[in-house]
Amino acid sequence: MSEPVRILTGRWREPDTVWIDRYLETGGYEGLRRALAMSPQEVIEVVKASGLRGRGGAGFPTGVKWSFVPQDTGKPTYLVVNFDESEPGTFNNRELVERDPHQFLEGAIIAAYAVQSHTAFIYCRGEFLWPGRILERVVAEAYDRGFLGRDILGSGYDLEVVIHRGAGAYICGEETALLSSLEGYRGQPRLRPPFPAVEGLYASPTLINNVETLSNVPHILVNGPEWFRGFGPEKSPGTKLFSVSGKVERPGNYEAPMGTPARVVIEEMAGGVLGGKRLKAWTPGGSSTPFLTAEHLDVGLDFESIQAAGSLLGTGAIMVCDETDCMVEVTRRLLQFYAHESCGKCTPCREGTWWVVRVLGRIEAGAGRPEDLPLLDDQCTNMLFRGFCALVDGAVSPMSSSLAYFRDEYEAHVREHRCPVTGRGPGLVAEQGAREEAPAATTVPSWADLAEELG
């Protein structure tokens, strides 16, 4: 086992580094000093040269994105930090903020400087009460020490930071929905184009980056792009923080260079499958990325390799299922998440997720029909890339991949009217289904009814 790399997690072993004194003692804000000594354009070039790619899911080259933000538009330019982290299985942003918040804040200030933004918003997931408090404190610290506010470090550059709390919707992590929410509207995605870089927040140029993406930036400024490219493969340089959860011995965030085989992360870092059981399925990048199986454990965890294996690196959230997990149940539960989080704007997502949850639930409960499997296949086709945003594509991932890899399990449910894995029959499942879905499965409580009841 090779020496673990610690870049993003370098300060994690020391609890004190949460606050600014220790952060400064450990080289903090050096990246910002270097950035401010350069022109914004030079900073962008450095980040471009590093090959850093966005960690929020799509993997878009960060420096290129920065260079898309137009200058001299006569409008303000905004930086928005996407800290809505809600993808199931993903928790690296949260720990990055809880353990080393100044690291990403420094990255954010550098990013803002690079695009010449003077106002930055941090969109913090609503449920993140504790990380939100930490954010408030570290932002105050940064103001106190002159890393935020007017004339930062005597450079003449000004930046104000506003922390905004979300209200608990997964869709608000999608960048355009996030902007709507930030503006005080319903969190629903907007048409692109215009792209946020050109017409984002308040119809002004806006750069949106993920917390993990920004956490890399100070290190790139301090150590240079070549150093950064020293980790990981050519097209996916750097390290990645993998959130490992599910049936493993030691769930948690593990930093490893991009391209590290999944087996290393799951078996060595996270201690292998819980109780020594057999691994059945895993997601490489959260619930929105297609399942892979034990066969894929030697695939490198980087954008290209995972894609070649038929999935996506997504957020790098590895969720592990073992041989005792029923894949129909797992899929139903995940789809229930998407049905719940669908913003409702577009038909294939809103109605499609509603429908397949019910079909999956029926199969799970032993009431599946042979024609349900082709029906689900069809719905995968009818939902994938048909929605307004990528949420529905994410919803299709677990369904299409489990139907592909574990079709026999579905078929057994239909044939035997019970779960071939857990042995549960209709009674048990029905009871559980009732608990989870309640009779509300058919009656949606409405705001208007509620309002009426309240008078």
Partner 1 sequence: MSVEPEPVTLTIDGKEVTVPTGTLVIRAAEQLGIEIPRFCDHPFLDPVGACRQCYVEIEGQRKLFTACTTEVAAGMVVHTQNTSELAHEGQVANLEFLLINHPLDCPICDRGGECPLQDQTMAFGPGESRYIEPKRVYRKPIPLSPLVLLDRERCVLCARCTRFCDQISGDRFIEMFARGAGQQVAIAAGEDFRSPFSGNTIQICPVGALTASTYRFVARPFDVHVADGICGHCSAGCNVRVDVRRGEVVRVLARDNAEVNDAWICDKGRFAFRAADGPGRVTTPLIRERGLEPASFDEVLGRVAEWSRGARVAFLTGGRLADEDAFALSKLARVAFGTNDLDHRRAFHGGLAEELEAASALRVTYRDVERAGAILVVGLDAEQEVPILHLRIRKAARRGARVFVVHSRETRLSDVAEHLLCRPGQEGAVLERLIEGGAAGSDEERVARALRTAEGAVVLAGSLLAEHPLATDVALRLSRRLGAGFALVPRRAGDRGALRAGVHPALLPGGRRLAVASERAEVEAVWGELRSSEPGRNGREILEACARREIDVLFLVGVDPLRDVPDAALARRALENVPVKVVQSLELGELEPYADAFLPAAALHEREGHLTTWEGRSQRTRPVRAPAGLSRPDWEIFAGLAEAVGAPLGFGSVEELREEMEALLAPREVSERPTAWVGAGVPQWLDEVTLFTYPLLVDEGRLSEGASELKAALEEPAFVEVHPEDAERLHLADGGWARVRTGAGEATLPVRVSSRVAQGSVFVPFNQPGLEANRLLSGRFTAAATLEAVPGGGEGARGGEGIAGPEAKT
318: tokens are 């590895």
242: tokens are 């993998």
Report CA-CA distances (Å) from 60 to 55, 78, 236, 291, 303: 8, 19, 10, 22, 10
Nearer to partner 1 by C-beta: 412 or 441? 441
Size of the site for ligand SF4 (CB under 6 A): 14
Asked if 180 is part of the footprint of ligand SF4 (rule: CB under 6 A), the reply reads: no
- Comparing CA positions, the residue from 25, 22, 12 lying closest to residue 138 is 22
Calculate the dihedral angle through the C-alpha atoms of 181, 253, 54, 279, rounding to the nearest 10 degrees. Answer: -100
Q: In the bound complex, what is the minimum distance in angstroms from residue 37's beta carbon to ligand FMN?
A: 24
Nearer to ligand SF4 by C-beta: 251 or 286? 286
With CB under 5 to 8 Å by kind, the binding choice for 60 among ligand FMN, ligand SF4, partner 1, none is ligand FMN
**Contacting residue, 7, 85, 103, 105, with ligand FMN by CB under 6 A:** 85
Phi/psi at 270 (5° precision):
-90, 5
CA dihedral for 54, 60, 64, 70, sign (positive or negative): negative
Whether the CB-CB separation of 32 and 121 falls below 8 Å is answered with no
Asked if 111 is part of the footprint of ligand FMN (rule: CB under 6 A), the reply reads: no
With CB under 5 to 8 Å by kind, the binding choice for 351 among ligand SF4, ligand FMN, partner 1, none is partner 1
Determine the Cα–Cα distance for residues 411 and 401; give it in Å rounded to an integer.
15
Radius of gyration over every alpha carbon of the chain, rounded to an integer in angstroms: 23
Q: Which positions from 319 through 348 interact with ligand FMN, judged by CB under 6 A?
A: none
In terms of Cβ atoms closer than 10 Å to its own Cβ (0-12, 13-18, 19+), residue 249 is middle
**Contacting residue, 11, 34, 55, 332, with ligand FMN by CB under 6 A:** 55
Asked if 3 is part of the footprint of partner 1 (rule: CB under 8 A), the reply reads: no
Determine the Cα–Cα distance for residues 31 and 84; give it in Å rounded to an integer.
25
Residue 5 DSSP label: P
**Contacting residue, 40, 56, 187, 237, with ligand FMN by CB under 6 A:** 56
Asked if 130 is part of the footprint of partner 1 (rule: CB under 8 A), the reply reads: no
Residue 269 DSSP label: I
Asked if 350 is part of the footprint of partner 1 (rule: CB under 8 A), the reply reads: yes
With CB under 5 to 8 Å by kind, the binding choice for 169 among ligand SF4, ligand FMN, partner 1, none is partner 1
Longest distance between any two alpha carbons in the chain, whole Å: 73
With CB under 5 to 8 Å by kind, the binding choice for 202 among ligand SF4, ligand FMN, partner 1, none is none
Q: What angle do CA 140, 142, 144 make, to 5 degrees?
A: 70
Nearer to ligand FMN by C-beta: 65 or 280? 65
**Contacting residue, 291, 337, 388, 405, with ligand SF4 by CB under 6 A:** 388
Where does this chain bind ligand SF4 (CB under 6 A)? 171, 189, 342-346, 349-350, 387-389, 391-392
Residues in touch with partner 1 (CB under 8 A):
169, 171, 186, 188, 191, 339-348, 350-355, 358-359, 362, 371, 375, 378, 381-382, 385-388, 441-449, 451-452, 454-455
